[in-house]
Amino acid sequence: GDVNSNVLVARSTGDAQLDKAVWQWLSWDKNQKTKEQIESLLQDGKHQELRQRLCCRLTFGTAGLRSAMGAGFCYINDLTVIQSTQGIYKYLERNFSDFKQRGFVVGYDTRGQVTSNCSSKKLAKLTAAVLLAKDVPVYLFSTYVPTPFVPYAVQQLGAVAGVMITASHNRKEDNGYKVYWENGAQITSPHDKEIIKCIEECVEPWNGSWNENLVDTSPLRQDPLKKICDSYMEDLTKICYHRELNVQSSLKFVHTSFHGVGHDYVQLAFKAFGFQPPIPVPEQKDPDPDFSTVKCPNPEEGESVLELSLRLAEKEDARVVVATDPDADRLAVAEQQENGCWKVFTGNELAALFGWWMFSCWKENCSPDADVSNVYMLATTVSSKILRAIALKEGFHFEETLPGFKWIGSRVKNLLDDGKEVLFAFEESIGFMCGTSVLDKDGVSAAVVIAEMATYLQGQNLTLAQKLVDIYETYGYHIAKTSYFLCYDPATIKRIFERLRNLDGPQCYPKCCGVYNILHVRDITTGYDSSQLNHRAVLPVSRSSQMITFTFQNGCVATLRTSGTEPKIKYYAEMCALPGHSDRGVLEEELQKLIEALIENFLEPAKNGLTWRSA
């Protein structure tokens, strides 16, 4: 083995930087499969691919480190997870004098890739091993858990930080490494930059870092599963307001866990609310790293991926389907309508329902002297402004954050520390936070809150869809459309956005888009906002990603941005009408035309070789 490696290294690639990277990989990687991947690329003289795999590193996106599993310094594998954990150890040791008393939480989902001998569970064990070898107490879950269990456990156990090994709803080839801070929220800058620096300072694995047996032998390893699960379910009942209705309810629900972690936990959550357990989709209830019954494991893709659950619901006469994504931090919902068709709600529509519901429940249950101006709801800036409309009418506060739940989590923590009450927060990509037991999106709690809402509405002879119309009639129609184009060439993406920044001359943003006049432009990448007196954006600048928002004269707000986790250019557009201006058809037509103009004039898909997502 090793002699052979040295012979291979002697085969110079003619590139000193690459030679060094190859040598490092072959001398550090102890995973036979990934080591062999690099060896065979070297033997076949595939220097371009070697460069692509070895000459760049993982960086923190909107959800931590995320990449394909496989060999290389910019992929997720045993070695890069060890390196990342060593960096985190270094950073935490500098920041917390009580690190070795308080410890660290590690959770994982059910992903894996046989060809790289890589699985979330194995990566979690290696993460734990690096820390245990340094005498840090580690709370490593003994089985897979929903992502929200990690931030929840960090707060409950008073740990300094935690990691969840997951790539959420990404394609099956991917995995990821999501870091939570002591406040139970995902890390934001500057922590991410500082951690990357620390990772780069100690790339060579330490003695003991590869010793995954430590999780079975070290007295410093504890399994928090029972304690955290019991405590989570107990805390869940704080947002259960109609237990007596739930107990008697005749409504049936179907739940799919998309081959991921959700099944057991959603069953327990329904039980905690007094419901009969939801009917699971048998083909999708058990973990399967290949996600073999869906073309992609993202419940956001709508009816096409919900096929099995909708057919089962029809057979079982269940009117509502809830779908958790593979790591159970997001929720999709479908409801059968009078005509037998299914309505799959968008994230923005669900948020309108949750916002109405969480506020109504607060109002009914608050003490007589409770102050509505102490109450908050939050959304990311690319999400629907429906909560803003509800807040204006009802007297509570609404705030916006940058895209990504990490921004919501940190802001909510600050509001709570300030004595404020936060009822609900969301992002349009079906991420919901009901209550504040978990400072991150949570599909388990959202699923059971939807079930209670549907049960309550049934008592009023209303469906979720009817209530949604009712909310729009009361607070004004908010009609949003979101989709994306795939673009695998970073240079093209950069060119598209740079063109917009200089469309009407150097540093002159566009004043119209086709026939639509633009009122304001906000560019989060550069920190420019034409609506502010000093032209400085209020939200923090985010130079590493592209994001420009246009406010049109007709009341439409549209954002173009790059995805933080996938090779996509996403677009978001919403028409917001005042209450009483509710000709939905007219609004929808106007929005559709504006989106067509936006794509045609600003994204130019034909010229830029963009592929539209196949709906």
Q: Which residues belong to the active site?
A: 168
Rounded to whole angstroms, how far apart are CA atoms 570 and 131? Answer: 38
Rounded to whole angstroms, how far apart are CA atoms 553 and 517? Answer: 6
Rounded to whole angstroms, how far apart are CA atoms 209 and 204? Answer: 10
3-state secondary structure of 16: helix
3-state secondary structure of 528: strand
Instruction: Please give the DSSP secondary-structure letter assigned to residue 546.
Output: -
Do 334 and 320 meet the contact criterion of CB atoms below 8 Å apart? yes
CA nearest to 438, candidates 425, 419, 454, 452: 425
Rounded to whole angstroms, how far apart are CA atoms 181 and 88? Answer: 11
3-state secondary structure of 317: coil
Rounded to whole angstroms, how far apart are CA atoms 312 and 310? Answer: 5
CA nearest to 156, candidates 135, 179, 133, 180: 180
Characterise 328 by phi-psi region: left (phi > 0), alpha (psi -120 to 50), beta (else).
left
Do 581 and 477 meet the contact criterion of CB atoms below 8 Å apart? yes
How far, in whole angstroms, is CA 61 from its chain's centroid? 11
Instruction: Please give the DSSP secondary-structure letter assigned to residue 320.
Output: E
Which residues are CB-neighbours of 387 under 8 A, at least 6 positions away?
A: 351, 355, 377, 378, 379, 398, 424, 426
CA distances from residue 405 to 48, 220, 385, 489 in whole angstroms, order as listed: 36, 31, 16, 26
Adjacency order of strands within the sheet including 431-434: 397-401, 375-380, 421-427, 431-434
Burial of 324 (0-12, 13-18, 19+ CB in 10 A): buried
3-state secondary structure of 345: coil
Bridge-based pairing state of the strands 138-140 and 221-222: parallel
Amino acid at 290: D
Burial of 505 (0-12, 13-18, 19+ CB in 10 A): exposed
Query: Tokens for 572?
Result: 């978001």
Q: How many Cα atoms occupy the beta-carbon half-sphere of 451 within 13 Å?
A: 38
What Rg value do the Cα atoms of the chain yield, rounded?
Answer: 25
Strands, E assignment, 492-532: 512-513, 516-523, 528-529
CA distances from residue 37 to 116, 119, 125 in whole angstroms, order as listed: 8, 17, 22
